[in-house]
Structure 1
Amino acid sequence: MDINTLLVRKLPWLSLTVLFAAYTTFSAFLTHETVTWLAWVIVLAFTVFQALLLTTLFDGLKMLLARWLKSDVGYFTLIMLFSLGVTIVFLWFRVFGYILVLIASEVLARLDLQNAGFNRFQALIILSIFSLTGLAVGWAASLRLLPLI
């Protein structure tokens, strides 16, 4: 068996399909809400940042937070950011629901990729491909460029 066949058989297809579907529906939601190009840039940055955070940046973020929370200023800032986040959740509950599904599906796919034996870089590439492809398919289907909807 060659490496490509082994890679395709080893992929956790169910969780990657859920990830793809989550990003497709979120993209269709954004297209129907007629958001600006700035929102699309933020969504693309969020997509890449989330894949980076779940694969390569997690250990560094953990160390940074542990060092940062040793002071009272760090705890105060965390409480203020948490309260701001709760306010944003209540104001944009519909969008937050989509974001929560995106995070959950990406965490599931990352854990399945880790259990399948993929390293961090491979997981980053696979998560990014499925996420960005889901965004593109949802956008194209919403604009009737693809006959999916």
Structure 2
Amino acid sequence: MLIVKRIPWITLGLLILTYGTLGWSLSEAQSPWFVWLVLVMSLLLLVGTLTAPYSTLAKYSVVLLGSNTKTFVAAVLGAFLFFMMLAWFRIFLDTLLIVASAILARIDFQSAGFREGQAFVVTCVFSVAGVGLGAFAYTAITQKVWF
């Protein structure tokens, strides 16, 4: 019963809501199955990156910025991403909201004393459940399943 009290329920509710809007948007756009697959893989990559220890991230950033050529490519990619952020501001804000809720979940799990593996599993489960609930809610409302 002690672990149930330690789980940050408000943060997980926010996580479900943000990923639910993503599932709703993809259902509304009638995305094909491979888009959903890419979304789930990206979701797992995002959560894995956020729950990884910072020493591991520092090790990979040294590889990314190890030479002048790699640093130049990273700077050009950053400039391109900044341009995309300005061009598609609405999509950027949605993405920023999703990343912010995942970061909040990471911080809350870390402050509650959970290990990285536990935080990863719980965050992944709630994120995928949020996408699925958003898609289900869109389908249920538009198909008038309950009416």
Which band: TM-score by shorter chain?
Answer: 0.7 to 0.9
Q: What residue is the counterpart of 2:72 in the other structure?
A: 76
Q: What residue is the counterpart of 2:84 in the other structure?
A: 88
How far apart, CA to CA, are the structure 2 residues paired with 1:88 and 1:57? 29
Q: Tell me which amino acid in the other structure corresponds to 1:7.
A: I
Which of 109, 112, 115 is residue 116 of structure 1 equivalent to?
Answer: 112
Q: Tell me which amino acid in the other structure corresponds to 2:26.
A: L
Which of 15, 18, 34 is residue 19 of structure 1 equivalent to?
Answer: 15
Pair 1:40-2:40 in alignment: no
How far apart, CA to CA, are the structure 1 residues paired with 2:37 and 2:91? 16
Structure 1: unaligned runs, 5 residues or longer: none
How far apart, CA to CA, are the structure 1 residues paired with 2:95 and 2:133? 18
CA 1:31–1:18: 2 relative to 1, 3 Å: same
Per-residue CA deviations over 1:10-34 (Å, capped at 9, x if unaligned) read: 1011111111110001110121122
Pair 1:125-2:121 in alignment: yes
Identical amino acids, percent of aligned pairs: 28
| 8 A Cα contact 1:55 1:110, kept in partner | yes
Question: Which secondary structure state, in structure 2, belongs to the residue aligned with residue 143 of structure 1?
Answer: helix
How far apart, CA to CA, are the structure 1 residues paired with 2:49 and 2:145? 34
| 8 A Cα contact 1:141 1:147, kept in partner | no
Q: Tell me which amino acid in the other structure corresponds to 1:98.
A: D
How far apart, CA to CA, are the structure 1 residues paired with 2:145 and 2:9? 23
Which of 88, 94, 99 is residue 95 of structure 2 equivalent to?
Answer: 99
- How many residues are treated as equivalent by the alignment? 144
| 8 A Cα contact 2:53 2:116, kept in partner | no
**What's the RMSD between the two structures over aligned residues?**
2.1
TM-score with structure 1 setting the length: 0.86
